[in-house]
Every structure is written in structure tokens, then in C-alpha cells.
Structure 1
Amino acid sequence: MADRLTQLQDAVDQLANQFVASIYYTHKHHDLRTVSATDTVRADKKENEGASVDQDVEPYPTEQFKAGQRELAQDLILKEQQIEYLISVLPGLENSEKDQEQTIKQLEEDLKVAEEQRKEALQAKEAVLAKLDGVIRSIKRP
């Protein structure tokens, strides 16, 4: 499992992708209504594709479009809450610098103790292997 900062970065990247997908959905599937009397819907040709603007838009029925927007909004809210949670569990937000230094010192001491135990176990292993080697070498064939 990735560390918390990597999870947070992945979640922020996913949120950005969701924003882009939401804008694309709204752009692609809106109905071609004008907002005010002075608004117009452009019908000029695109230079590269030769298609008009209204051919790029595939309007969905109002209820389907609203349901899609609602689902996208819920996904955005859920991802934002996930990001807030990941931020809240980051180490250091509830601890002062002094507390963090003390925790690091304690972890270093624990690491030294564990290293000593590892060395003792390694010595014991070597002793047992030497003893076993002596026993094996002392065995004679009948």
C-alpha cells in the first residue's frame, strides 16, 4: 500500500480528472438553449474538423442530463471528502515539532535495540551452524 502522501497525490490527480470529465460532460451533453435574449448559438465551422458547433453537442433529455450532473457532483464531493480525510491523518498535524523529534529519538532507540537483538540472533545462528557442522563431520559411515 502506498504511503499517505502518495495516496493524497493520487486522490488530487483523480479529482482533477473528475473536474475535466464533468466539464466535458456538461459541454458535450447540454441543450442548446440561450441564457438571455442577446445570446446566440454559434454555427460557424471549425477550422480543423469542418464541423459546426452544434454537431459537437449531443443534447441529453433534461432529466438524464440533470441525473448525470448530480452523479458527477456526488463523485466530486466524495473525492473531496477522501482528500480531507487523507489530509487529516497526515502525521504531524496534531503534534508539535518537539513531539515529533521525541518520537524520532524513541524510534531510533527502538531501532538500536532491534539491531542488537538481530546481531545476537545472528551469533546464535552461527554457533548452532558450527555445532551442527561439527556433528555432521563427526558422523562416520558404517
Structure 2
Amino acid sequence: MTADVLTQLQIEYNKLAVQFFSTFSYLNQRHPLVAPPEIPGLRFTSQQLAPSGPGPEDTDWPTRVLAEFVLRPTDENTFKEAQQELANDLIFKTKQIQQLIARLPGIDHDEQQQAEEVQQLAAQVQEIEKARQAKRKEMRQLVKKLDAVIAAFLLEKGGVCDEDQGGRSTTG
């Protein structure tokens, strides 16, 4: 069970990482364009700067790579709603992860309690193994008895008992 929980936990952490990346990408690309406030003492103001395209160092990039980073702003209300929904999704995913962590064994036990529990489980395994060996021995004895009964029955009915086959009888 612990392995299942750990696997689920890893899957959920991977999903959370994807959600973080997707949320960051959405917020980065879809935020409403707002001019920054004027800061006194700056050499250039937003009115003095003309919008520009990619610089000369960006001209060798494939168009598809540049298209991934293009800003596609949405209106402010849509952005705020999406921002709230993305935040709720992240909170929900972290709560799922917290529930999985709570299901892990030993989360509320100290090391000594966990060691005692391991010893108890080891003792249970030994008891079960002894019981299994006893049942296996009993099964072998019952098989021998059954072979003897079948051999006696076949001898009584005129069959041939072949001792080379472990006492099991065959008809001739």
C-alpha cells in the first residue's frame, strides 16, 4: 500500500509541477498590458520608447519558437477570473497531495514506535511462515494417504500399482 501511495504522490507532484508551469505561462502571456508608472529620474519614459520587434540577436530563431512567447493579452476581468481559477486549481492540487501524505504510514509516529511496529510485523510474518510450513507438511501427509487409498483401491479392483511413479497407481 505504501508503494501505491508513493506512486500516487509522485504522479500528483508531477501534475503540480505542470500546473505551476502552465499557470506561470498563462499569467506571463495573457496579462493585460499596462504601462508602468513613470519613475522620476529615468532617462527614457514609456512615451519616448517606441515598440520594437525582435532584436538582431533574435533573428535566427525559428518563427514557431518566437510564436510561443508572444503576448496575447486578455481583458482585465477575464484575466482576474482565470487567475482566480488557476489559484483555486493549485490549492486543490496541494490539498490532494496533503491527503496522500497523511495516508503515509508512520507520519504521526516517532522512530522508536516505527521500529516496534516493524518488529511486531516481523513476528507476525514468522508466525504465518510457521503456519504455512505446518500446512504444507500436513498436505504432503494427506497426499501420501490419498496415494495409499488409491493404490489399495486399484489393487482391489485388479489395477496395477507402479511404485516407480511415487506410489501412484495406473490401470493396465
Q: Which amino acid aligns with 1:33?
A: V
User: 1:135 matched to which residue of 2?
Assistant: 149
Asked if residue 6 in structure 1 is aligned to residue 20 in structure 2, the reply is no
User: 1:91 matched to which residue of 2?
Assistant: 105
RCO higher in structure (CA 8 A, sep ≥6): 1
TM-score by length of 2: 0.67
Q: Which amino acid aligns with 1:69?
A: Q
Taking structure 1 as reference, are residues 15 and 115 closer, same or farther at Cα in structure 2, changes over 3 Å only?
Answer: same
Q: 1:43 aligns with which of 22, 39, 52?
A: 52
Name stretches of at least 5 consecutive residues in structure 2 with no aligned partner.
39-44, 159-172
1:131 positional shift? 2.2
Q: 2:129 aligns with which of 115, 119, 124?
A: 115
User: 2:29 matched to which residue of 1?
Assistant: 28
Name stretches of at least 5 consecutive residues in structure 1 with no aligned partner.
none
Pairwise CA RMSD of aligned residues? 2.8
Deviation string for 1:59-100 (max 9, x for gaps)?
A: 233333222222111110011122223333433332122211
Q: 1:106 aligns with which of 115, 120, 125?
A: 120
User: 1:56 matched to which residue of 2?
Assistant: 70
User: 2:167 matched to which residue of 1?
Assistant: none
- My pick for the range that moved more, 71-80 or 61-70, is 61-70
1:122 positional shift? 1.0
User: Is 1:34–1:41's contact at 8 Å kept on the other side of the alignment?
Assistant: no
Q: 1:66 aligns with which of 80, 97, 100?
A: 80
SS at 1:36 equivalent? coil
1:42 positional shift? 5.2
Taking structure 1 as reference, are residues 42 and 78 closer, same or farther at Cα in structure 2, changes over 3 Å only?
Answer: farther
Taking structure 1 as reference, are residues 17 and 50 closer, same or farther at Cα in structure 2, changes over 3 Å only?
Answer: closer
State the identity %. 32
Deviation string for 1:6-37 (max 9, x for gaps)?
A: 33332222211111000111123223322324
Q: Which amino acid aligns with 1:58?
A: R
Taking structure 1 as reference, are residues 116 and 42 closer, same or farther at Cα in structure 2, changes over 3 Å only?
Answer: farther
SS at 1:86 equivalent? helix
